[in-house]
Every structure is written in C-alpha cells, then in structure tokens.
Amino acid sequence: MRDLLVYCLSPHFSMIDYCKSSSCACPRTGPLRGMRSEFALSLLMGVFCAGCGLLREKKPSQTDPVLAQAAQKPMTSEGASSVISEMGENWLYGPGLGQTALNVGAMVVFPPYALYVVGNSVLSMSGYEPLYVSDLLPEGERAEVNTMYDEVTTAPGRVSAALAGKEFRSKEVAAERMKAIVAEGAASPTYRKPSGG
C-alpha cells in the first residue's frame, strides 16, 4: 500500500502504468482510478475544516493605530508621498525585507507555500488573525521560534541599512517614525479639513 501511495503522489502518475507494472489486476475503469484526486480533495477538505476552528477575529487593538489614523484624515499629495516613502524605508531598512525574501524563497522551494501566504493575506484583510504554524507550539517554544524567526528576518534589513549608512528600523522604531510623519501631516498648513462634517 505504501508503494501505491508513493506512486500515486508522483508527478508522472498513471493508473494504467501502475496496473501494467505491478500485480494489480484492475482494469482501466477499476476502483483505484481517480484515487489521487480523491486523496488530494479529502486532504484539502480536512485542512480547511481543521482551520475553521482556529480562526479568531482581530481585536481593535491589533489594527495599526498609526495607519488607521492616517487613513481617516485626508492628505495632500506631499503628505501621502512622505508616508509612502517612510513605509518603503521601514520595509527596506527593517524586518520587511527579510520576511519578503523568506516568503519568496519558500515559495520557490515549495510552491504550495504560496497558498499559505495568500490565505493569510485574505484572512488579514477580512479582519481575522493570520494563522501561523508556531501558534500550535506551547508558549515557551513558540517564543523561541519567534525569536529565531525575527533574528533571521532582520538580517537582510540590517545589512541594507548598514550599506546605506542608515539606522536599522525595528518594528518599534518604524512605528514611532510613522507616528511622527502622520502627526506632521495633520499639523501642516496644507492639511485639508474633511468637508461636510
């Protein structure tokens, strides 16, 4: 049975070849036909059903307050340009570059990982917390894994900041810089008041 499972999951699976190469006496329309797709569908349904119980809605405190504040205020094109520039620099000189490189590398090595990344993006945009594999670990081990992940993902940002002669921007530093940019935009004389009340 193990050989059948390995053979069915191979990229060049053909039930006809399997029947010819083994002692299987099943005809082309036998009970094993379509077993690969049924196996994949049942596996996929099992993952979806298990994932439904893990979904948690985002708490209002998990929404980035600086970006929420910026989104509620109308901005001039200069203000929007400075916010976008700051976000880009926070990504380049912070952990964002390493997280992107790790995700792209994982998708190249293991293409189904793209489904995980897209699924987490959809969950996040839908108001749910993203699902992480580390959430299944006990609290102490989860903290160790997250610390190791942070060390790996901050390395490219530290290198790019050092090469550019800039300061590395941790999540806390990036949040403070964004808060200052948004506050500066609200205090600027070109800030437009919302019309109509």
Q: What is the pLDDT of residue 98?
A: 94
The percentage of residues in the chain with a pLDDT greater than 70, rounded to a whole number, is 60
Angstrom distance (rounded) from CA 124 to CA 158: 27
User: What is the arithmetic mean of pLDDT over 102-123?
Assistant: 92
In the predicted structure, residue 29 carries a pLDDT above the cut 70:
no
Kindly give, in sequence order, each residue whose CB lies less than 8 Å from that of residue 89, ignoring residues fewer than 6 positions away: 166, 169
**132-161 pLDDT, tens digit each:** 888 888 999 999 999 999 999 999 999 999
pTM for this predicted structure = 0.60
pLDDT band at 131 (very low <50, low <70, confident <90, very high): confident
